[in-house]
């Protein structure tokens, strides 16, 4: 299946839920979808298009919104993206479709503060257990030059 065929199949199926679809290069396809359709698009890609391998999930701070990117496929690499607003960001968890998402969703929850609705165990994975709540190191407003106090000690 060529890059264009894949894009056509997904856009025909989901219509106006697809905000932007483009070919990034050889074997690279990027699709931006609305948050309510994100899980359905991932399910369709994994179960009907044979992209059942999840390489990883990435999280990006886009300034006014936060973006989740699902990387799917062995040879063809499909990026399925969705954006949510920064106040109370939440995205549907895809762990029930692709169990591999489990650790990546915990990583994004840790570092960017996006909640994944329906994740069975959204615990800390990378940050120390006494890292303050509500501080997300990969957001653009966080600067490592000005560390916040940990363990309730005085400012350092």
Partner 1 sequence: MSFEVPIGPQHPIHVEPLMLSLEVEGELIVDADVDVSYIHRGIEKALELRPYIQGLYLVERICGICNAAHSLCYCLNVEQLLGKEAPPRARYLRIVVEELSRIHSHLLWLGHYFHTLGFETLFMYFWRDRERVMDMLELITGNRVTTAYNTIGGVRRDLPPDAEQKLRRTLDYIEERVRYYEKVIDSEPTILARTQGVGILKPGDAVRMGVVGPHLRASGIKHDVRLDDPYSGHDEIPFNVITWDTCDCYARVKVRLRETSECVNMIRYALDHMPSGDYRLKIPPFFKAPPGESLSRVEAPRGELIHYSISDGGDRPYRYRVRTPTLANLLSVIEMLRSRGDYEVYIADVPAILGGIDPCICCSARILITDEAKKRRTITTLDDIIRFSRGRRVERR
User: At its nearest, how many Å lie between partner 1 and the CB of residue 116?
Assistant: 15
Residues 19-48 that bind partner 1 (CB under 8 A): 24-25, 27-28, 30
∠ CA 40-78-61 to the nearest 5 degrees?
A: 80
Q: Dihedral (C-alpha) 83, 61, 26, 19: value to the nearest 10 degrees?
A: 20
Residues 4-23 that bind partner 1 (CB under 8 A): none
11, 77, 86, 135: which one binds partner 1 (CB under 8 A):
77
Residues 95-134 that bind partner 1 (CB under 8 A): 98-104, 107, 111, 124-129
User: Rounded to an integer, what is the distance from CA 60 to the centroid of its chain?
Assistant: 8
Contact range with partner 1 by CB under 8 A, out of 1-9, 11-19, 32-40, 75-83: 75-83
The DSSP element (H or E) to which 23 belongs, if any, is strand 18-25
Sheet containing strand 65-72, strands side by side: 18-25, 28-33, 77-85, 65-72, 54-61
Contact range with partner 1 by CB under 8 A, out of 13-21, 31-39, 69-77, 84-92: 69-77
Binding-site ranges for partner 1 (CB under 8 A): 24-25, 27-28, 30, 52-56, 58, 60-61, 69, 71, 74-75, 77, 79, 98-104, 107, 111, 124-129, 137-138, 142, 144-145, 147, 149-151, 153-154, 156
């Amino acid at each position: 299946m060529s890059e264009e065929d894949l894009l056509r199949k997904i856009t025909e199926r989901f219509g106006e839920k697809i905000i932007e679809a483009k070919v990034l290069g050889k074997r690279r396809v990027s699709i931006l979808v609305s948050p309510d359709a994100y899980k359905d698009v991932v399910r369709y890609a994994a179960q009907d298009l044979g992209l059942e391998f999840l390489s990883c999930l990435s999280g990006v701070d886009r300034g006014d919104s936060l973006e989740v990117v699902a990387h799917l496929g062995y040879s063809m690499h499909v990026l399925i993206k969705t954006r949510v607003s920064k106040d109370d960001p939440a995205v549907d968890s895809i762990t029930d479709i692709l169990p591999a998402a489990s650790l990546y969703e915990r990583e994004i929850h840790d570092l960017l503060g996006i909640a994944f609705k329906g994740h069975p165990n959204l615990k800390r994975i990378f940050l120390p257990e006494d890292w303050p709540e509500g501080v997300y190191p990969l957001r653009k407003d966080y600067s490592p030059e000005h560390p916040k106090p940990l363990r309730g000690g005085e400012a350092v």
